Structure 1
Amino acid sequence: MPYVTTDDGVKLYYEEAGSGVPVVFVHEFAGDWRSWEPQMRHFARYYRCITYSARGFLPSDVPADPAMYSQSRARDDIRSILDGLGIDKAHIVGLSMGGFATVHFGFTYPERALSLTIGGCGYGAEPDKREQFAAEVEATAKRFDDLPMEEVGGGYALGPTRVQFQNNDPRGWQEFRDQLVAHSALGSANTMRGVQKMRPSLYDLVDDMAGITAPTLIITGDEDWPCLEPSILMKKVITTAALSIIPNAGHTINIETPHEFNRELQEFLHKVDCGAWKARDPRAMIDGILGTKK
């Protein structure tokens, strides 16, 4: 099985398909390397596509020490994938937890990103939701500690922004659920506590995000409620960003609505690759509604 070893000795399982300009896909908390199969099949026709399991997600290593999990390590694990595969720069595509890692990668290693796609990003970011989010994360981590994965994972798959997937594609949702309940309970709990609970709010990263220069696509479902306001924040702050909202869709948009997601991503990557992606005209941000001046 192919692995890349990180700077701190964690082995990350990866798969790749296709050739050409590299695209690295970074999965969400409830997913793993398999979560990007609709994108791997489609984009491998045009790109060198790489998907991997984050630390704590099989068949990657599952460190027992909670200190081995953090937002900065999730960010740097993307860099380890690039380094391990001899890739200088790549398009980085992340969803949810992977979207947060993509944001951090974008402003920390700007020289390594051809573009950033930030999907379903924003859980717990709003200032008035921080305490609630931390409490819910800790409660969920304890469930991973105490209950069978079949029970806690199955319940997680029916969250308020995931029932849309079940309604839109019951067969696809069942596959997603079955993969989720096979995850490592230890890895899930440690990821919850080390990455999800401790990561900084996007609202505290405004200055960092304002420095992002890579072409950026922000994409979310219109019923992914925790991500809507943070997505607008990122659109405002990142001058190279476009915002796409998929109708009647929840959180797991790349597998719930793969055709819509792939269409948006393909158009974005094409524009970036041919040099047609432009930064926002500063005149679009003048302080006014109609733009008239007295």
Structure 2
Amino acid sequence: MDEGTGPALVLLPGLLMSAARWRAIGYIDQFARDFRVLAIDPLGHGLSEKPHNPGAYRMEDCAADVRAVLDHATVDRAHVWGYSRGTSIAVALAASTPERVISLVIGGGSLYLRPQPRSPLPARSLEMVAALNAGDWGRFWTAMGIDDRETQTILEVGQDPLAIAASIEGLALSSFFNIAFDPAVLLRPPLVYSGSFESSISDDRSDAAAAGAEFHEIPGRGHAGAFQDIVAVAPIVSEYLSRKTPRDA
């Protein structure tokens, strides 16, 4: 999706999500008033191709896909906003080509300040992959820890379970996770936000502090809820993106 005019803002969704979820919540309509919004379907999601080969889903390759979109849109630099799995792609992009990133918004994810090798995959991820390969959504949701049936139904629509499984397995092949990202390479410190019920919130907060990043807690929200709470999130992100720094010129 490519809507609005102004500075470019790239939106990168999480696992099982697509550009359509940003629209459904209302983010695209709201931010397209002030930005040129480029909402991207990462490989394996939405309208993008859905290969079943894990090797296609390395984070460094997903970041290259985003660069290709920027090139096609003739965009030199953009604000980049990732949520959940989308934060991995966002940070991989910023780490490999910081000159393309004006600012970085990290929602429900990590800044990857330390190497975080993903090979072999943790037991939870292996269970998710096994469930998807078996076509067993119930088992998958149990492993994911999502028990709200409405959310499950929304996220299942249009999915290719084998492609999603491959996208998870691809994490173990990503050299990106073996590096430590230095946010100082960016034009401005990142913005990080997490739901107050997020299991990683303490680590998210301390990593943000270590990186000199701004951190916001979305009260009363878990991982999925923090994405859906546009009333709380949009003003925080809007204010952050509107700031100017001497290095923005």
Report 1:162-173 matches (<5 A).
Answer: 162=146
Match of 1:290 in 2: none
Match of 1:245 in 2: 217
**Closer, same or farther: CA 94–176 of 1 in aligned 2, 3 Å:** farther
The answer as to 2:84 corresponding to 1:110 is no
- Does the 8 Å contact 2:44/2:164 carry over to 1? yes
Match of 1:266 in 2: 238
Matched residues in 2 for 1:124 and 1:23: separation?
A: 21
Matched residues in 1 for 2:121 and 2:202: separation?
A: 15
Pairwise CA distance, 1:142: 1.1
Larger Rg: 1
Matched residues in 1 for 2:210 and 2:111: separation?
A: 18
Report 1:115-264 matches (<5 A).
Answer: 115-122=103-110, 134-149=122-137, 151=138, 155=141, 159-160=144-145, 162=146, 174=150, 177-195=153-171, 197-199=172-174, 205-206=179-180, 208-215=181-188, 216-226=190-200, 228-239=201-212, 241-253=213-225, 255-264=227-236
**Closer, same or farther: CA 140–254 of 1 in aligned 2, 3 Å:** same
Helix, strand or coil at the partner of 2:223: coil
Identical counterparts, % of pairs: 20
**Closer, same or farther: CA 124–116 of 1 in aligned 2, 3 Å:** closer
Residues 187-241 of structure 1 show CA distances to partners (whole Å, capped at 9, x for unaligned) of 101001002x455797x644x3254323210111111113x133234313323x2
Helix, strand or coil at the partner of 1:225: coil
Residues 55-104 of structure 1 show CA distances to partners (whole Å, capped at 9, x for unaligned) of 11132111232211111112222212111211100000000111111122
**What is the TM-score of this pair, normalised by structure 1?**
0.73
Residues 102-131 of structure 1 show CA distances to partners (whole Å, capped at 9, x for unaligned) of 122222211001100011014999999979
Match of 2:5 in 1: 19
Count of matched residue pairs: 245
Gaps of 5+ in 2: none
Bigger relative contact order, structure 1 or 2 (CA pairs below 8 A, ≥6 apart):
2
**More displaced 10-residue stretch of structure 1: 90-99 or 128-137:** 128-137
Equivalent residue for 2:66, pick from 78, 95, 104: 78
**Closer, same or farther: CA 98–128 of 1 in aligned 2, 3 Å:** closer
CA RMSD in angstroms, aligned pairs only: 3.2
Matched residues in 2 for 1:23 and 1:145: separation?
A: 34
Helix, strand or coil at the partner of 1:23: strand
Matched residues in 2 for 1:70 and 1:128: separation?
A: 14
**Closer, same or farther: CA 30–64 of 1 in aligned 2, 3 Å:** closer
Gaps of 5+ in 1: 1-14, 167-172, 279-294
Equivalent residue for 2:30, pick from 31, 38, 42: 42
